[in-house]
Amino acid sequence: MKLHRNIVVLLILILTKATISAQDNNCNINKTFPVKNGTTLKLSNKFGDINIITGKEDSLFVCATITIVQDNSDLIKKNMNLINISIDKLKDTILVSTTFDKKFFSEESRQGRKSFSVDFFIKMPTYMDLKLADEFGNVSIDKLSGTVNLRLSQGNLSAKRLTKGNIKPINKIYVDHGKVSINELNWTTMNLFNCSSVNIEKAEALLMTSSISKIRMGDISSLVSNSKSDSYIIKSINNIILEGTYSEFEIGRLNEQLKSKVTYGSIRLSNLNKEFSGIDIISGQAQISVKTGEDISFKTDIIASDAVVEFPSGKYPGVLKTESNFSTTLLGIAGKDKATKSLIKIRATGGKVIVQ
């Protein structure tokens, strides 16, 4: 009987996977610091998620949780000691970092390992500055009015409100091979590379460099974009300056001004504000489509070479169309307001231009 019981226990030990993690979501390491306006959290992490919420207290709470799933419990304990989490304060900067001993990734230490992560839970006041770098993990941020400098690789970013204004340094966000979801942004510089989904609902001013990404935006005040092989869908924008190569831009409504240079891509503009300022496009082998809408008046200055041009001359008799030597020119005033200051200027080589 005793022998049978021992065999059963042995089988359970062999078949059951050992897991060590923070029990009941408690922290392996936690610290609290008093903070004030001007305090910065500098956090560097790998292989784990970072969740940041904000509170009203003038204090910063840091909770670090190490989770290792591995068959051998002795190896788990050994691997725990190969992960170092440092939490310290230097003047007005709180330094938090994760480092791995190179032995952690050795064949011996990895034997039977299913997964591992180093996750952080942070509670901080909204006014604090944040400098954060994370690889192979996700980052979520509640709301911050301080300066955000964020670098994320192989992970997803979600944020509610990042409201730092036009005060240097402005916010900086870099994401590669990830997804981005932000409810509200103020003044921000963004770099996006190979992001399969980027959603920004509202933004004040964005300076964006992007490539191989799918970007969807809601209501934007100002955007400056340098784009390669991207897809942009923008619901409404006041001012946009863009340079694109092999990129597609679909804009729902333009309220004020668009200036662009596009090559081997497209711009599709669905609606113009009656008081829009101007459209200035230089295109090469691109598809340009502008729907002006009803009761819109504008000056027309379009010259297209070796390109297909579609323009409703019958609708706008005040625009003179001339064609010669594979070139099409449209000059004049479209609409009833002969004193209009709105302008559509296009210089196209190849491709197609549609104004309707």
Residues 86 and 171 both lie in one domain: no
Instruction: Please determine, for residue 200, whether its predicted confidence score (pLDDT) is greater than 70.
Output: yes
Residues spanned by the domain of 301: 272-356
pLDDT of residue 295: 84
Report if residue 142 sits inside a domain. Answer: yes
Of the candidates 191, 218, 241, which is a domain's last residue? Answer: 241
Of the candidates 132, 153, 183, which is a domain's last residue? Answer: 132
Instruction: List pLDDT tens digits, range 213-226.
Output: 999 999 999 999 99
Residues 112 and 160 both lie in one domain: no
| 322: amino acid identity, one letter | T
Residues 151 and 232 both lie in one domain: yes
- 13 band by pLDDT with thresholds 50, 70 and 90: very low
How much is the pTM?
A: 0.89
Token digits for 37? 């306006």
Report if residue 159 sits inside a domain. Answer: yes
Residues 147 and 125 both lie in one domain: no
Of the candidates 132, 162, 188, which is a domain's last residue? Answer: 132
Report if residue 4 sits inside a domain. Answer: no
Residues 283 and 236 both lie in one domain: no
Residues 280 and 344 both lie in one domain: yes
Report if residue 43 sits inside a domain. Answer: yes
Distance from chain centroid for Cα 126 = 21
pLDDT of residue 1: 43
Rg, C-alpha atoms of the chain: 28
The Cβ-side half-sphere exposure at 269, using a 13 Å CA radius, reads 31
pLDDT of residue 14: 37
- Residue 356's nearest CA partner among 305, 315, 307 is 315
- Residue 267's nearest CA partner among 256, 259, 278, 255 is 259
Residues 89 and 151 both lie in one domain: no
Residues 178 and 212 both lie in one domain: yes
Residues 80 and 149 both lie in one domain: no
Residues 110 and 183 both lie in one domain: no
pLDDT of residue 2: 43
Residues 52 and 26 both lie in one domain: yes
Contact 278, 257 (CB under 8 A): yes
Report if residue 262 sits inside a domain. Answer: no
DSSP assignments along 129-186, one per residue? EEEEEEESS-EEEEEE-S-EEEEEESS-EEEEEE---SSSSPEEEEEESSEEEEEEEE
pLDDT of residue 137: 97
Instruction: List pLDDT tens digits, range 43-99.
Output: 999 999 999 999 999 999 999 999 999 999 999 999 999 999 999 999 999 999 999
Residues 167 and 215 both lie in one domain: yes
pLDDT of residue 25: 54
- 8 band by pLDDT with thresholds 50, 70 and 90: very low
- 168 band by pLDDT with thresholds 50, 70 and 90: very high
- 293 band by pLDDT with thresholds 50, 70 and 90: confident
Report if residue 300 sits inside a domain. Answer: yes
Report if residue 9 sits inside a domain. Answer: no
Report if residue 117 sits inside a domain. Answer: yes
- Phi–psi pair at 9, nearest 5 degrees: -60, -40
pLDDT of residue 87: 96
* The total number of structural domains that make up the chain: 3
Q: For the residues 129-135, what does the mean pLDDT come to?
A: 98
Instruction: Please determine, for residue 314, whether its predicted confidence score (pLDDT) is greater than 60.
Output: yes
Token digits for 20? 């060590």
